[in-house]
Structure 1
Amino acid sequence: MKNLQIKNVMAFVPAKDFQLSSRFYEDLGFTKAIATDKSAQFVMQGYGFWLQDYYVDAWAANAMLCLYVEDIDAWAKHLDSLDLINGYGGVAKVLAAPHAQEGGIMMQFCDPAGVLWHVRENGVSADIGTRTQT
């Protein structure tokens, strides 16, 4: 039998200004684990993504990531403390404060390239992989 065990899945995220986006994600709390001239892997608590020094407007405008958290109010305060509008070229911003939506609490923000992040408390989570499939 083949060993098809998955260790991780990571999305690639576009950056219009690679240095600005790198600083944004570090300020958010991610650690730059691996870096090359054109990409960097950012991780936090074992989860992460690859930031690319590559930008296509349609890709950035349609890219979305979902961050499942234990305490959304703590994340809202953290994002507020970063003063996104003034700190990241006027592009990164909180789009929606925590609110009830589809079985949980959710908020949204976008990064300096316009990538949309959904932050969710409750609802479907990263534990989905532990479900039994039939």
Structure 2
Amino acid sequence: MIQPGKSIRTFVGAKDFGESCRFYEILEFELRHHGKGFAYVSISPGIGFYLQEYYEKEWCENSMVFLEVDDLEAYFDKVTALDLPGKFHGVKVMPIKQQVWGAEFFIIDPAGVLWHIGTFRSDNQA
């Protein structure tokens, strides 16, 4: 390795930047705006991504982000209680599915980005 990294952050597109900001704020992500149409969005220190006012349908609808959480059922219950599909056009929340490696549920954000929210089995930390 050339040098150890300090963080890795993906870029996520927004069809409507203001709507996406509201979506992530309702999910209790913290937004730090870095100019018009660009924000660092974090869920905890050192874990986040860049939200940008850029939308390319094929790119957004083929983007995926995986968020690992400790208590998947509690997270799912909290997310479903937010009624995101009732507040944002195109947003979907799908039920928890058991996988060989652990479990996950899916959220599709307002731009079509697919979020995998999951937890690994203790013997599988992929």
Give the TM-score normalised by structure 1.
Answer: 0.85
Which structure: larger Rg? Answer: 1
Q: Output the amino acid matched with 2:25.
A: E
Q: Which residue of 2 aligns with 1:83?
A: 83
Tell me, which stretches of 5 or more residues in structure 2 are unaligned? none
Identity of aligned residues (%): 35
Q: 2:74 matched to 1:74? A: yes
Partner Cα separation in structure 2 for residue 31 and residue 70 of structure 1: 19
Please, what is the CA RMSD of the aligned residues?
A: 1.7
Q: 2:22 matched to 1:23? A: yes
Q: Which residue of 2 aligns with 1:132?
A: none
Q: Which residue of 1 aligns with 2:49?
A: 49
Tell me, which stretches of 5 or more residues in structure 1 are unaligned? 129-134
> 1:68 Cα shift?
0.4
Q: Which residue of 2 aligns with 1:4?
A: 3
Q: Any idea what SS the aligned residue of 2:61 has?
A: helix
Q: Output the amino acid matched with 1:38.
A: G
The CA deviation string for residues 55-96 of structure 1, in whole angstroms up to 9 with x for no partner, is: 0000011000000010111111111111111111x21110x2
Partner Cα separation in structure 2 for residue 67 and residue 102 of structure 1: 17
**Number of positions where the alignment pairs a residue of Structure 1 with one of Structure 2:** 123
Give the TM-score normalised by structure 2.
Answer: 0.90
Q: Any idea what SS the aligned residue of 1:62 has?
A: coil
